[in-house]
Amino acid sequence: MEPAKIYLKPGKDKSLRNRNPWLFSGAVDRVEEFEENGQPAEIMTAHGGFLGMGYVNPESQIVCRVLSWEKQEIDRAFLEERIRASIGRRAMVLGDSTDSCRVVNSEGDFLPGLIVDQYGAGIVLQILTAGMEFFRDDILGILRDELHPAFIVERSDTASRREEGLEERTGVIGGTVDGPVEIVENGRRFRVDVLRGQKTGFYLDQRESRRIVGSLAGGKRVLNLFSYTGGFSVYAAAAGASEVISVDSSGPALDLARENMALNGFDGVSARYVRSDVFDFLNAESGPWDLIVLDPPAFAARKAQVDQAARGYKDLNMRCLRKLAPGGILATYSCSHHVDRTLFRQIAYSAAVDAERDTQVIVQTAHPLDHPFDLCHKEGEYLKGIILRVR
């Protein structure tokens, strides 16, 4: 299929010249030679000058996502080169002590709309856009050739697919998966529900944060809020925490948290698993705790929700700061890309002022090595964390 041609309105090429890979509908004058959603496309100025290659979807607010700033064919060979390069960059992460990571990170690996996570011997992929759906068969073939996965699970079940005019798709498309799969991360063992768990099953992007928190947890009473399947809890127990309390609203997630603690030999550690809304838990429990992990889901899915999200983050952080013992530590995170690093730090500052606690910033965290983002695509920088000590 020949590429479509996208012509921009006069003066609407600035973001592309700044190498942002997203082209919004408001900048587009017309699309010519269009046949189907996801079709490769050339992007042209209003006067016909070449700007880049991508794929087109007139049904989406993001009409085109750029794949290359050079004029070249977008085909299986192109995708093979990109995917192979992305996999090769993960050699620094995978090894004897860690067998799971993100091997393709969408725009961060210059393959917008494609997520591939490796879980031990198998992979879980998300195809989020019409362009990657267009090349789905090629992508699956390349992944089979490059990774030889024991299983392939598709978790294309996100809101972004609906915004692209695509139906959700989930299930096992290669090999056999009949329950949680076991992985190893920094020598710790975890069971991951790749079929029904959040995201693709596990928060792989918090691997380094879990390691840092674990290094601070020895001898401490630890509260893990929005604990999901107990990643931070396992690291705290491994460090010798005196008590670990995991709080989440999901019963199945807490069941896996219990399993993960036992899997690592910590079933004898003083631990509680509390199924509760976190706000309700903080209202009911007085503490104090020595270390609190606050890792909530994204509060701002859209830019219009930022103010409300900021209020929610501030309230949670203020409550946690008030419940820390002197010298206690708060590890606080946000995965909302609309809440940028500057705003998140301001939220933490405001929470500390209202909590009337003096605080030290121990470390600020961000994306790990296997979750790169494109410097020209600020929307790809979503994860930020601040680890604070109170006086």
Locate 263 and state its tokens: 């899997």
Locate 112 and state its tokens: 């917008």
Nearest-angstrom CA–CA distance, 194 and 11: 45
335 classed as catalytic: yes
Neighbouring CB atoms inside 10 A of 136's CB total 17
Catalytic residue selected from 64, 101, 320, 335: 335
Q: Let me know: does 121 contact 192? Beta carbons within 8 Å.
A: no
Report CA 334 to chain centroid distance, whole Å. Answer: 11
Among candidates 391, 388, 386, which has minimal Cα distance to 356?
391
Nearest-angstrom CA–CA distance, 236 and 221: 9
Q: Let me know: does 175 contact 122? Beta carbons within 8 Å.
A: yes
Nearest-angstrom CA–CA distance, 23 and 107: 13
Which uninterrupted H or E stretch holds 147? helix 136-147
Distance in angstroms between the alpha carbons of the first and the last residue of the chain: 65
Nearest-angstrom CA–CA distance, 292 and 243: 12
Locate 192 and state its tokens: 């991951």
Packing angle, helices 341-355 and 306-322, rounded to 10: 40
Nearest-angstrom CA–CA distance, 269 and 240: 9
> Which residues does the annotation mark as catalytic?
335
